[in-house]
Amino acid sequence: MKRILVSGGAGFLGSHLCDQLVAEGNQVTCLDNFFSGSEQNISHLLSQPNFKLLNQDVTHPLTIEVDEIYNLACPASPQLYQRFPIETFKASILGSLNLLELAKSTGAKIFQASTSEVYGDPQVHPQPESYFGNVNPIGPRACYDEGKRGAETLFFDYHRKHQVEIKVMRIFNTYGPRMSATDGRVVSNLILQALQGRDLSVFGDGTQTRSFCFVDDTIDAMRQLMDTSKEVKGPINIGNPTECTILELAKLILELTGSKSKLAFVPAAEDDPLRRRPNIELAKSIIKWEPQISLQEGLVKTIAYFDSYLD
């Protein structure tokens, strides 16, 4: 049994990770201040003897005995991080500093949930880990993009200077049950609009692309990366290499929900990447991972979740 800290453990990804870690019998501490997470996501775990909730902001230092740390604490919703840019940047930078100090003092292995947003609006397609990115450092998305880039810098500096064992994963567009209904992400937005009979908002002309990975596949990749040898540090891309346009996604959601809603084209968001698809050759070769759940299968499960949410 390992002592594992999951920062951001009440969030979308964090709560699914906590589920798996608790089920395996680990002693899990969930660190969350519910800025973007939800107690509802972990309410079923509160009665478990090997689960503990620590209501604290990751920007505050903490002392706890741990063997492994998963750092998932940062708002990932464009609506939320653009509304609270300074808090978002602090969560990435100060949160990483605090958890890296904890890892250094305890000898714990530490995982960083980074993001495809470190590539910005990419000029290389698909994006390999060797690509340095094309990011606007002063734009409305920079608090998240540059915060995650800065966090990666800190992780590698702590590894080089203090020999902290690190694992860095760049996550591409994960979706699934427990996504927030108000987070402004494209999958949750379109599903809710379809279920409620509202027009589906398609930004720009809908030809911009994304690659959507179901949450179960992403969590499996996290665990597999954490279990690799010390020599494997990352960064490693995790996502589904099947690329689709936002227009294709909207039409598929209409089909799967049986909705009679119409498509409504709205102005494109500032600095919104035009293409996004991961090169996952490193993941396939190093951690023997590739996604198993198709977009249609994952959307069916996600639609069922939001359908019950609306009941």
Give me the active site residues, please.
144
The distance of Cα 205 from the centroid of its chain, to the nearest Å, equals: 26
**In 3-state terms, what secondary structure has residue 126?**
coil
Count Cβ atoms below 10 Å from residue 123 Cβ, excluding itself. Answer: 11
Token pair of 35 as six digits: 């800025």
Closest CA relative to residue 149, chosen from 117, 180, 171: 117
Q: How far is CA 84 from the centre of its chain?
A: 18
Counts of helices then strands in the chain (DSSP H, E): 10, 13
Check the CA dihedral 131-134-138-143 and report its sign.
Answer: negative
Instruction: Choose among 137, 178, 54: nearest CA to 188.
Output: 178
Contact indicator for 183, 251 with CB cutoff of 8 Å: no
Residues 136, 142 contacting (CB under 8 angstroms) = yes
SS3 assignment, position 310: helix
